[in-house]
Amino acid sequence: MKNTCLALSLALISSAAAAQDAAPNERFTSCMKTLRSVASSKGIAPASFDRLTSGLTPDLSVLEFLDYQPEFRTAIWDYLAGLVDEERVADGLAMQAKWADTLAASSERYQVDPATIVAVWGVESNFGRNFGKRPLLTSLGTLSCFGRRQSYFSGEFLSALKILDAGDIEPEQLVGSWAGAFGHTQFMPSTFLRLAVDGDGDGKRDLMASVPDALASTANFLHKGGWREGQPWGYEVLLPADFDDSVSGRRDKRPLSWWAKRGLRRADGQPIPVSDAAAGLLLPAGPRGPAFLVFRNFDVIYGYNAAESYALAIAHLSDRLRGGKPFVTPWPTDDPGLSRLERRELQTLLAARGHPIGEVDGMIGARSREAIKAEQQRLGMTADGRPGQKLLTSLRADPAAR
């Protein structure tokens, strides 16, 4: 139903756009006028609004992301293989050492341990390497005037103007994701206004250029979300052979003693303490894959981006930074996912076979997927475009292109 409506409305939009090219710009101009009239009630003076939005034009390409249904759904083992690989663990340990004093200060002030702060940083922006490149006011302005979540994005647009008006960040520096998340911590503008703090004491909250500001702001986010220092996010557990998984899920919490009685054991061999602490059973790939008991701190991480796979990536990376091991139970697949190093190797092998995959960057985009499909077909594998261990192993051994 939803898809039919979407297809219909997209058809209407494109035919309307074809009929009169000027329409989007006119609509944008009148929409900005409306936003200008409400801006002062949000503390943005008309003069500031005019200064910051002069010359602003819509970028309708961001609308494609708004309703994007990924045709290629990423399996949890592919997602984690790229996000928590040996490279990111090594980078995280290096960052933990480099910013030790800053982290110690944030950790003491906000009562969140350094490994958790660094893990958020590593997953959000790869330690400041991936901020997104889209000018924030253009994206948020467009999403405020077109598409299906205009009122939400209008609030974020006005919040972004407020940040610039206060001078925390220079306008030309403010770039980010298509949806308006920006900087080391990928905060949305309204999150910035609520939770960003000045970590280096220069009087500005600069999540684009200041690592101390970013680390302190992340710690503050988790602190305000209810982080309980000294308590684990959770841990991997082993289920008994005849386990009844009818009770599971992050939200369906039961006392630890209840779980222990059902035969769950910690995967690292430590005992589950006799306690009434509330824990939910997370089964990201069903009962045959890795299982986790998760506590309140897991929910706090979840609050950062509202996806369990995402929260698990941060939680697991934080464990690895504390010296923890990879999961004990393997994912229920005979074709595990690839690390970023392996993705680059796969891309190199594809390029050597003449596939125009573009830059070897470890990011499997449309061109890499096409090349993967072609090679899968040639090798008699299912041509699904997924980068996995089986294809990598086959191409390594395949003398065809040598």
Strands 175-176 and 278-282, how do they pair? unpaired
The residue (of 198 and 335) whose beta carbon lies closer to Ca ion is 198
For the segment 191-230, give every residue that binds Ca ion (CB under 5 A). Answer: 198, 200, 202, 204, 210, 213
User: Binding of Ca ion at residue 168 (CB under 5 A)?
Assistant: no
Smallest gap from Cβ 168 to Ca ion, in A, equals 8
Q: How many CB atoms lie within 10 A of CB 42?
A: 14
CB nearer Ca ion, residue 200 or residue 370: 200
Residue corresponding to tokens 């925390």: 168
The CB-of-334 to Ca ion minimum distance in angstroms stands at 50
What is the smallest separation between the CB atom of 217 and Ca ion, expressed in angstroms? 10
Based on CB atoms, which residue is closest to Ca ion, 79 or 110?
A: 110
Which residues touch 248 (CB under 8 Å, ≥6 apart)? 280, 281, 282, 283
Least distance between Ca ion and beta carbon 214 (Å): 9
Query: Could you give the 3-state DSSP secondary structure of residue 58?
Result: coil
Cβ closer to Ca ion: 87 or 198? 198
Min. distance of Cβ 207 from Ca ion in angstroms?
9
In the complex, what is the shortest distance from the CB of residue 169 to Ca ion, in angstroms, rounded to a whole number? 10
Q: Are 332 and 275 in contact (CB under 8 A)?
A: no
* β-bridge partners, 134: 176
Our CB check for Ca ion shows the closer of 202 and 245 to be 202
Q: Which residue, 197 or 294, is less far from Ca ion as judged by CB?
A: 197
- Quick one: tokens of 184? 């080391």
CA distance 181 to 132: 8
Cβ count near 233 (within 10 Å): 26
Strands across the sheet containing 265-266: 249-255, 278-282, 291-294, 234-238, 265-266
Distance CA 328, CA 311 (A): 19
Radius of gyration of the chain from Cα atoms? 24
Minimum CB distance to Ca ion smaller for 86 or for 202: 202
Tell me which residue has tokens 């392996």.
342
Work out how close the CB of 264 gets to Ca ion at its nearest, in angstroms, rounded to a whole number. 45
Q: Which of 367, 336, 334 lies closest to 350 in space, CA to CA?
A: 367
Q: How many chain residues bind Ca ion (CB under 5 A)?
A: 6
**Dihedral angle at the C-alpha atoms of 158, 162, 163, 169, nearest 10 degrees?**
110
C-beta closer to Ca ion: residue 59 or 198: 198
Rounded least distance, CB 109 to Ca ion, Å: 14
Q: Are 213 and 197 in contact (CB under 8 A)?
A: yes
Q: Which residues bind Ca ion (CB under 5 A)?
A: 198, 200, 202, 204, 210, 213
